[in-house]
Each structure stands twice: as C-alpha cells, then as structure tokens.
C-alpha cells in the first residue's frame, strides 16, 4: 500500500490505519500497529476481522 502522508510524527501510520479501516469496514481505532512504526514493513492487528476476511476484503 502506498501512502501520501509524510513519514513524520506518525502521519503515515495514521493514514495507513484510516485506509485499512475504510477498506476493511472497521473504525480506525480498531486498527493497531503491532510492529514497524518506524519502518516500511508494518504488522497490524485489526479488531473484529479475521485474517481470511481481511485478505478477501483487501484483494477485492
């Protein structure tokens, strides 16, 4: 996923949470960054969506 927000002061991470939330049909507060806050590769946990459903929604 490419983001337009600058990687400063957590803006890119916040944008990632908003984009994933919109695509997955959850609130941005339900998207939690587990790893990668300062790197390009991120690991997220999304409350209320299992892995199979998340993959299906992201691939559609």
The pLDDT value given to residue 44: 93
Q: Domain for residue 5, yes or no?
A: no
Residue 6 or 19, more confident: 19
Phi and psi angles of residue 56, each rounded to the nearest 5 degrees, phi first:
-60, -45
Give residue 5's pLDDT.
67
| Residue 1 belongs to a domain | no
Asked if 20 and 34 touch (Cβ cutoff 8 Å), the reply is: no
Asked if the model's pLDDT at residue 3 lies above 90, the reply is no
Tokens standing for residue 20: 């994933």
Number of domains in the chain: 1
What is the extent of the structural domain holding 23?
11-59
> How confident is the model at residue 32, as a pLDDT?
95
Sole residue written with tokens 């996923």: 1
Q: What is the pLDDT of residues 7-59, one digit of tens each?
A: 777 888 999 999 999 999 999 999 999 998 888 888 999 999 999 999 999 99
In a domain, 45, yes or no: yes
Q: 60 or 56: whose pLDDT is higher?
A: 56
Q: Looking at the domain assignment, is residue 40 inside a domain?
A: yes
């Amino acid at each position: 996923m490419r983001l337009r927000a600058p990687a400063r002061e957590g803006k890119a991470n916040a944008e990632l949470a908003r984009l994933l939330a919109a695509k997955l049909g959850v609130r941005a507060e339900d998207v939690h960054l587990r790893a990668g806050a300062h790197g390009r590769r991120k690991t997220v946990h999304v409350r209320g969506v299992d892995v199979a459903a998340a993959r299906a929604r992201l691939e559609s």
